[in-house]
Structure 1
């Protein structure tokens, strides 16, 4: 018996050998080679304590799936672990083909195919933006003529805002259509939406035995799509317990999870990350939801709130091991209350030669600090909303104090960072 891990992240946030110390079989890892340097880690050499560690140069290629099947046969794989959103469908298809326990394709597709997701959400009465899967440029033009500008284009199975485009007028639309539909060729992998004004909130949490066991909402203080043009600190922080939005966001997320979960799901335990617009006229509009933990440092924020490592929980669930204890519910039986407020402050990579970076702060309220470049390194611009230069997690007794701390820390990071034009 063995376990196969599909891994396209750095290893630092995923100490698998600690989490799986009681796993009774072999642990085999297929990892994306390029992700280590991208996140400031040395490319691992040897097996790093795993039974086998293989690094793949073309991690998105079909050769990785073929290699996973070969390793599954060689090691008698019984469990497959995958955390990154881009790996969920691959892992599900592998389990289904091999007849293994865990989520199969039908369980994860509602969380990956944004068109299917919105169809199921709308059927459940959940607010969503007008949208279309435009098979042709003509269909996209017709949608824009009906709903006006801006419009939003995204990959139906995309992640990290990669490929996200927001044309704001006809000229920008035509430029994008020329790229998206070269030669007028039809396609079915794009989703087009009407633009929703408002602040983006997100709800992160944990499902155990098909029920939400812990969850809490936060609010981005920036636009996710601005990652390539935003040189300043990007703050994201939790909502207070008594914020009127808090129960509304939690309730909407629970309804969405039920709407997207098959009646006989093979995914009873999982983390989730929901993104919801709060509009100027006080509506909640679902953007999308994933059956995995949030990116950036959302997992670390959640641990600060509840003492729970979402990735550890998912790893052990997918490995068929006993699960860590969830946080205790409130006295009235409602969802657990966080022990503090918390958030993250991020800066994005921008091109050039790194001359200076901030030191690790020693403030007692800083729960973690990460740098994803080195002084003297030439770096490229951010390629997605998770391509960070620095990241930090902080806490405070309430949201207002947490925001003050995060913004002050962000300014310190900005002042200590110097990137110049590369020679």
Structure 2
């Protein structure tokens, strides 16, 4: 064991050949982020700094050292551990972070420790939504009208010009957390009465949204899949089911590949996994007619990391590609060989059911639908006794489901079938029970062989 406080050495702590790698991890065991498959821990020396939940996703026996912090956003705690790792085990060659909110911390560590890789200014282009949109606009692409939230009067003028609804969102947010949909001047004034630090405001786009996952290498898109949203992430935060279904439109997918290259070039990203959200508007009535420019697409935002929710599972299970592995290897400067993206084949999709409207609440019972919907091959349900308190995001939900079928239309049909048949019995709990009951129940995950 290391004598360093807050840092424990693993079996590989004696050092060895190969690269010296630090991984920031908040993925738990269920996410199945397979670092020992991505990096040979017998050749490379791999240290980890993990969140409390992410500690379960680390194979401590293979690690050189493991540090645990309550929050990976705690720069003081993370930098202290990283400096300790360097003092005890030597300089780092790489810093890896796969979760969006950890990209800035990884960039700051590279700067602090003089490690190659993206620095804070580069990460800002794919994290700050105002900077991001300014660069995309400069590349000639459409974005929602937007403004920084400087003062209540500024935002009120913006809303008057664009009309309601408008959307308030954190400039560096992720997972649709902290977003407000404002439908009236009175609601806007009420929301702005409390300070909103580091927020932007943008017009609401009423159009079909797509999630686009892909890989860009040397500036060219090598792999891409588009998923049509049956509603939006914002709808989910407001209590509606969230469904995402693979696109059946090869013309659109080809178009999105070219569009994604323009977006990533505008942001200065040449080698990365990406998760793009884009609205498709003004589609021509003739499906064979393709607009000359990308004026039928409206950029929302993009992240330089794999998509979240059930997407990592879908990519592995349906499309045979581990995007977390690709992201790791690209961060390490490797050039993984990827088969060119081609539309067609089996389609995937997923569904998130929201938590009940009254929270905190205790789950009394759930109903498995695994044997009733053939296209649904995996479900994750909260266990009886679990307490849902509205902070789970896409992880702790009223139910998570994954689908595969011959076409996206078949997947959508199955998603709607699950929504119609879904059952969850719950009861409210008082504040005194929250801490005790929160840890009493665990998610029940079942997959069809």
Structure 1 gap segments, 5+ residues each: 37-41, 182-186, 262-266, 330-334
Q: Distance in 1 between matches of 2:262 and 2:145?
A: 20
After superposition, residues 369-408 of structure 1 pair within 5 angstroms as: 369-371=379-381, 373-382=382-391, 384=393, 387-408=396-417
Give distance in 1, aligned partners of 2:366 and 2:210.
30
Moved more, 213-222 or 133-142: 133-142
User: How far apart are residue 124 of structure 1 and its match?
Assistant: 0.9
Shift of 1:111: 0.8
Are residues 1:24 and 2:43 paired?
Answer: yes
Q: Does 1:66 align with 2:67?
A: no
Distance 1:145 1:108, change over 3 A: same
Equivalent residues of 1:227, 1:384 under 8 A apart: no
**Cα gap change, 1:114/1:46 in structure 2, threshold over 3 Å: closer, same or farther?**
closer
Distance 1:200 1:138 in 2: 30
Residue 315 of structure 2 corresponds to residue 302 of structure 1: yes
What is the Cα deviation at residue 10 of structure 1? 1.7
| Aligned equivalents of 1:338, 1:99: Cα separation in 2 | 44
**SS at structure 2 position matched to 1:166:** strand
Alignment correspondent of 1:279: 281
Per-residue CA shift, 1:53-89, capped at 9, x if unaligned? Answer: 2221233222223322332333332211101110111
Tell me if the contact between 2:208 and 2:281 (Cα under 8 Å) persists in the aligned partners: yes
Query: What are the Cα deviations for residues 78-127 of structure 1, in whole angstroms up to 9, with x where unaligned?
Result: 21110111011111221233222322223322111111111111111100
Shift of 1:12: 2.7
Gaps of 5+ in 2: 1-18, 285-295, 431-449
Post-superposition offset of 1:269: 2.7
State how far apart, in whole Å, the 1-side matches of 2:44 and 2:401 are: 36
Q: Would the aligned equivalents of 1:26 and 1:75 in 2 still touch at CA under 8 Å?
A: no
Is 1:95 paired with 2:110?
yes
Alignment: residue pair count: 394
Query: 2:245 matched to 1:234?
Result: no
CA separation of 1:165 and 1:127: change in aligned 2, threshold 3 A: same
| Residue of structure 1 equivalent to 2:331 | 318
Superposed CA deviations along residues 351-371 of structure 1, whole A, max 9, x for unmatched, are 311112344825764454334
CA RMSD of aligned residues (A): 2.6
How has the CA–CA distance of structure 1 residues 368 and 80 changed in structure 2, closer, same or farther, with 3 Å as cutoff? farther
- In structure 2, the residue matched to 1:264 is none
Match 1:110 to one of 121, 125, 129:
125
Counterpart in the other structure of 2:252: 245
Higher relative contact order (CA 8 A, sep 6+): 1
Provide the rounded CA distance (Å) in 2 between the counterparts of 1:204 and 1:45: 26
Larger Rg: 2
Give the Å deviation of 1:7. 1.4
Counterparts of 1:292 and 1:45, CA distance in 2? 20
Q: What is the CA–CA distance in structure 2 between the aligned matches of 1:313 and 1:62, rounded to whole Å?
A: 27
**Judging changes above 3 Å, is the alpha-carbon distance between structure 1 residues 410 and 49 closer, same or farther for their aligned structure 2 residues?**
farther
**Does the CA-based 8 Å contact 1:228-1:382 persist in structure 2?**
no
Residue in 1 aligned with 2:4? none
- Give SS of 1:107's match: helix
C-alpha displacement of 1:43 = 5.6
1:79-228 correspondence runs (5 A): 79-180=94-195, 189-228=198-237
TM-score, normalised with respect to structure 1: 0.85
The 8 Å contact of residues 146 and 202 in structure 2, kept in 1 or not, is answered as yes
Compared with structure 1, are the counterparts of its residues 316 and 293 closer, same or farther at alpha carbon in structure 2 (3 Å cutoff)?
same
Residue of structure 2 equivalent to 1:361? 370
Instruction: Give the secondary structure class of the aligned counterpart of 1:286.
Output: strand
